Amino acid sequence: MPKGMPHFALVRGSGHVRSDNPPVVTPRCNFAPPCGTSATGEGLDQRTKLSFFAAFCDLHRPYASKNKHDPARRPRPQRARHEETLTTMPTERPKPGEYNPYYDKYISLILGNDIVGTLSSQLPKTIALLSSLSEQDGELRYAPGKWSLKEALGHVIDTERIMTYRALCIARGDRTPMPGFEQNEYAREGPHSSVRLTDLVEELKNVRAATLAFFRNLRDGDWKRQGVANNDSITVRALAYIIAGHELHHRNIFEERYLGRQVRAEIA
Ligand code: NI
């Protein structure tokens, strides 16, 4: 990149700022004390001191008025810590033949062709559902011998990691066949039953953030790349749709079977 040429760190997906123009940190207080006064307002009468600092300066909140109608007491709009995330990124849907038809049960749950947008937008609903539950709910099983809700959530997390790893290898041109994974053994060997539900919910959020970071940065050609996992030929884009569909599939099971809610099975 030639020096001085403005560019964006990332063209697609995440609304990044110009990497050669780091954001300017705005001082929280731009107002010097009135002439003849100190930074703490010495030399001002109390009334002036209150109105001056409360109105203009967050650093002097202790001086803020107790009047609830005072504009200085109204919550200030928080500046987003990050640029607004733009997730819309149409991609071609996987075609039959790109994956084992077994995965249709997940892929068919996902509509449209903006898989990155879907991965980003559907997770909050799953998080909202799980966050509304108690730790005790994490122990729920809908039938003897079935995974507990926490074990099922651990399975969702593990699966997303594995599918993303497969997508990574294939997207990077690695043709080495990858093994399958035995989900019941993973659940049995995993720690999820002894992890707090709230911690698993955090883990799912973090894993999804990593998933999104990976998929957002793919180039057009990467999505169509094909590799072999679990003895099946599969493409990167099929794996992305499987991740989203698998999450949705299990969210529907959480609602219908674990929580006994009468819900129409949702599709994204
Ligand atoms: Ni599953």
- SS3 sequence of 119-162: HHHHHHHHHHHHHCCCCHHHHCCCCCCCCCHHHHHHHHHHHHHH
Residues 3-32, mean pLDDT to the nearest whole number:
35
Which residues on neighbouring strands pair with residue 96, listed in sequence order?
Answer: none
Task: Check the CA dihedral 199-203-204-209 and report its sign.
Answer: positive
Cα–Cα distance for residue pair 110/114, rounded to 1 Å: 9
Cα–Cα distance for residue pair 143/257, rounded to 1 Å: 9
Task: Quote the ligand 1 centre to 123 CA distance (angstroms).
Answer: 16
Tens of pLDDT, residues 90-122: 779 999 999 999 999 999 999 999 999 999 999
Higher pLDDT, 83 or 75: 75
Q: Which two tokens stand for residue 12?
A: 């697609």
pLDDT at 3 over 60: no
Task: Quote the ligand 1 centre to 203 CA distance (angstroms).
Answer: 17
pLDDT band at 226, cuts 50/70/90? very high
Task: Quote the ligand 1 centre to 155 CA distance (angstroms).
Answer: 6
Task: Quote the ligand 1 centre to 14 CA distance (angstroms).
Answer: 29
CA dist list (Å): 112 to 32, 97, 156, 222: 55, 19, 22, 19
248 Cβ contact partners less than 8 Å away, ≥ 6 residues apart: 106, 109, 110, 122, 266, 267, 268
Radius of gyration of the chain (CA): 26
Residue 53: Cβ-neighbour burial (10 angstroms; 0-12, 13-18, 19+): buried
Catalogue all structural domains in the chain, each as residue range(s) with its CATH number: 17-82 (no CATH), 101-258 (1.20.120.450)
Task: Quote the ligand 1 centre to 111 CA distance (angstroms).
Answer: 19
Task: Quote the ligand 1 centre to 246 CA distance (angstroms).
Answer: 6
Task: Quote the ligand 1 centre to 50 CA distance (angstroms).
Answer: 60
Higher pLDDT, 153 or 12: 153
Task: Quote the ligand 1 centre to 245 CA distance (angstroms).
Answer: 10
- Tell me the one-letter amino acid at 131: S
Enter the DSSP assignment of 255. I
Q: According to the model, what pLDDT value does residue 227 have?
A: 98
Task: Quote the ligand 1 centre to 183 CA distance (angstroms).
Answer: 8
Residues 21-44, mean pLDDT to the nearest whole number:
38
Task: Quote the ligand 1 centre to 149 CA distance (angstroms).
Answer: 12
pLDDT at 242 over 60: yes
Contact 171, 225 (CB under 8 A): yes
- Tell me the one-letter amino acid at 151: E
pLDDT band at 6, cuts 50/70/90? very low
Task: Quote the ligand 1 centre to 92 CA distance (angstroms).
Answer: 24
Task: Quote the ligand 1 centre to 107 CA distance (angstroms).
Answer: 13
3-state secondary structure 65-114: CCCCCCHHHCCCCCCCCCCCCCCCCCCCCCCCCCCCHHHHHHHCCCCCCC
Nearest 5 degrees, angle CA 156-CA 103-CA 121?
Answer: 50
Higher pLDDT, 230 or 40: 230
Contact 6, 21 (CB under 8 A): yes
Task: Quote the ligand 1 centre to 237 CA distance (angstroms).
Answer: 18
Task: Quote the ligand 1 centre to 24 CA distance (angstroms).
Answer: 45
